[in-house]
Copies of this chain bind each other. A is one copy, B any other.
Amino acid sequence: MNKASGGSAGRPRSEEAHQAILDATLALLAEVGFSSLTVEGVAARAGVGKATIYRRWPSKVPLVVEAFGGLPAFEEADTGSLVGDLKAMLRAYLELFNETPLATVLPALASERAHDPALAALFNPVLRQRRSPLMNALERARARGEIPPDTDLELAADLIVGPIAVRLFFTGRRIQPKLVDPLVEMALGGIQKR
């Protein structure tokens, strides 16, 4: 009844179960991390049989990728200046790191991606998608003449989010929102003396 009955006969897949599985995955990721996440644990937490999970996802990793896709990303901000856009977006994004499993899931998936081309194929578009508000802000800045027209925007984006990535992956200290202002100013202005 709730299905766009274009499919074949038989009992339709439960959308409820689908969502319960994704929710359980995120909850357990936050609790135990990726490497200790078990499909059996997800099934138990979701109140679902293992077969129901494997009927939808071929293995643990794609499941985590899809669950990850439901986590919040950059929220587009258009303040009229690049510096304003960046500060607003980064500050909001950093707050999400303290409210979601983002900070643990991201490194886990990045690590798997390196040796699993299938995961990379799944994961890469998700990452590009999440990055797009940042790229849009850079493009607006270029259109306004705030940055040189021949700027390598990908590199610029990497420069801006780079310090966050480094701290996320390597130092593990919680990333303070007050880091944002000096970060943006240093990235935009450069390190060197004028």
Contact = CB atoms under 8 A, between A and B. Distances in A.
Interface string A156-194: 101101111111011110000001001100111111111
A147 to B, nearest CB: 5
Contact of A166 (B115, B158, B189): B158
B110 A114 contact: no
A103 B111 CA distance: 10
Interface-central residue, A34, A35, A161, A183, by most chain B CB under 10 Å: A35
Interface residues of A, number: 52
Interface string A104-115: 100110111111
A124 B173 CA distance: 11
A78 to B, nearest CB: 18
Contact of A148 (B124, B158, B193): B193
Contacts of A166: 158, 161-162, 165
A141 to B, nearest CB: 9
